[in-house]
Chain A
Amino acid sequence: MTFANINADEINGTMLRNIQTDITPFTCMLTALPAITIPGVAP
């Protein structure tokens, strides 16, 4: 798929999906990300 193929008409009815019923992600890391810390800044 190229950018040129994307327009509202094509998206309409074909591309949008309900993530709860139709999810096929390429990767599912499902790993918690580490917290961000800044020196001198209290959590």
Chain B
Amino acid sequence: MSFAASATLAACGDSGAALCNGVSGPCKGVAGGASEATIAQAFATATAGSTIILGAGTFKLKNTLSCPTAASNLTIKGAGIDATILDFNDQAVGSQGITCNVNGLTIQDLTVQDTLGDGIKAEGNDGVSFKKVKVTWTRPDDESHGAYGLYPVLAKKVLIDECIVEGAADAGIYVGQSEQIIVRHSTARRNVAGIEIENSNGADVFDNDATDNTAGILVFSLPIQGTPRPRNEKTRVFQNRSLSNNRLNFGKPGSIISKVPAGTGMLVMASDSVEVFDNDIRSNNTGGAAVVSFLVAQIDWDKNSPYNPYPTNIWIHDNRFQGNGAMPDDTNLGIGIVLAQNFKQGVPALLWDGIEDTTRTETRPATARTSASRTMAR
């Protein structure tokens, strides 16, 4: 069936067209189980302000679905998580399941599974919302899984709301080099990192569940070559649950994420102005929460770049820690084995690596203040 024939079929009164009933503005409906050509055509011909409605059912796809860059304010809507399934198990071409680099993008109420690379990527968008979207890799843990589930990058006004990501070989919910970000009411499980905010400015991460990952929640600045955002700054992480993140690290060997020890509840690396409060952090075997410099990764970087490897202005307060640090991951060269050797009676709830920027000259406060005393180590 050709593209033209399938598009005509969808527009001439089959159940696909009926899906657009009640939708204002340009709309393309694609019935559940329609051919790849049909759904690809709907994406390829999307226009500004239009809506693509995907019916309930499973769509078997072998190629990345991508949107025209001119299709601003595009909405892609399914019938619900696990009701509309975009199945990329046989994907042969492309790095992502969906890639839509358009301003004002909304994707909601659908599942993307078993993509060759990342689940859904949105690059450079001014306005991108993922609502009630699930991205999952159904096969057993493997570095061949896509790196990121939800992957907005170099974007502005990012909303991730009521989403689920499972099985990513790097970070399930990843927001990188972006600004004005909200990640809330979402679940990340069975990933290497559950949620990661990286090299971004202004993020609220709250009311999320990060469970059964290698690490729960990461706030990182990394030395990304040529990035317009060399520093992660202004991140709030609050009212989340980071529980039992003890999954064996299955990240790609040699990658930075592969160096994160299993059993990490929360890790703040080389970031500026981060506030972590009112979270439940429990049963993470390596440690509850740690603040570290990039130097612990023991990876070199371009010293001529503006990258600052040291954390600054970190406030961790009023969290609830329980049962963390009982059995640090000493299989992973790096901080995990150091923790295991240094804290044989159990790792404290809060850690700082103590690596200071000796080039800084300002006077330290006469009395170092920390509210860590309000968060009991257990």
Which A residues form the contact surface with B (CB < 8 A)? 1, 3, 6-8, 11-13, 15-20, 22-33, 35-36, 38-39, 41
Q: List 6 A-B contacts (CB under 8 A).
A: A6-B298, A16-B342, A19-B372, A23-B352, A24-B364, A38-B158
Q: Which B residues, 311 to 358, have Cβ-Cβ distances below 8 Å to chain A? A: 312-315, 333-335, 337-339, 341-342, 348-358
Q: B353's contact among A16, A20, A31, A38, by CB below 8 Å, is which? A: A16
Which B residues form the contact surface with A (CB < 8 A)? 129, 157-159, 180-182, 202-204, 234-236, 273, 275, 291, 295-296, 298, 300-301, 309, 312-315, 333-335, 337-339, 341-342, 348-358, 360, 362, 364-365, 368-373, 377
Asked if B370 and A12 sit within 8 Å, CB to CB, the answer is: no
Asked if A11 and B372 sit within 8 Å, CB to CB, the answer is: no
**Chain A residues near B350 (CB-CB < 8 A):** 18-20
**Chain A residues near B360 (CB-CB < 8 A):** 26
Q: Chain A: which residue is nearest B357 at the CB level?
A: A26
Asked if B372 and A6 sit within 8 Å, CB to CB, the answer is: no
Q: A3's contact among B300, B313, B339, by CB below 8 Å, is which? A: B300
The main secondary structure of chain A at its interface with chain B is loop
Q: A36-B236, A38-B180 are in contact. List 8 more A-B contacts (CB 8 A).
A: A17-B354, A19-B291, A19-B370, A20-B348, A20-B350, A23-B352, A25-B352, A33-B235
Asked if A6 and B295 sit within 8 Å, CB to CB, the answer is: yes
The answer to whether A8 and B356 touch (CB under 8 A), given A26-B364, A36-B180, A36-B204, is: no
* C-alpha spacing A33/B204, complex, angstroms: 10
The 9 closest A-B pairs by CB, nearest first: A17-B354, A36-B204, A29-B313, A19-B352, A19-B350, A28-B369, A18-B348, A38-B157, A33-B275
Shortest Cβ gap from A15 to chain B (Å): 5
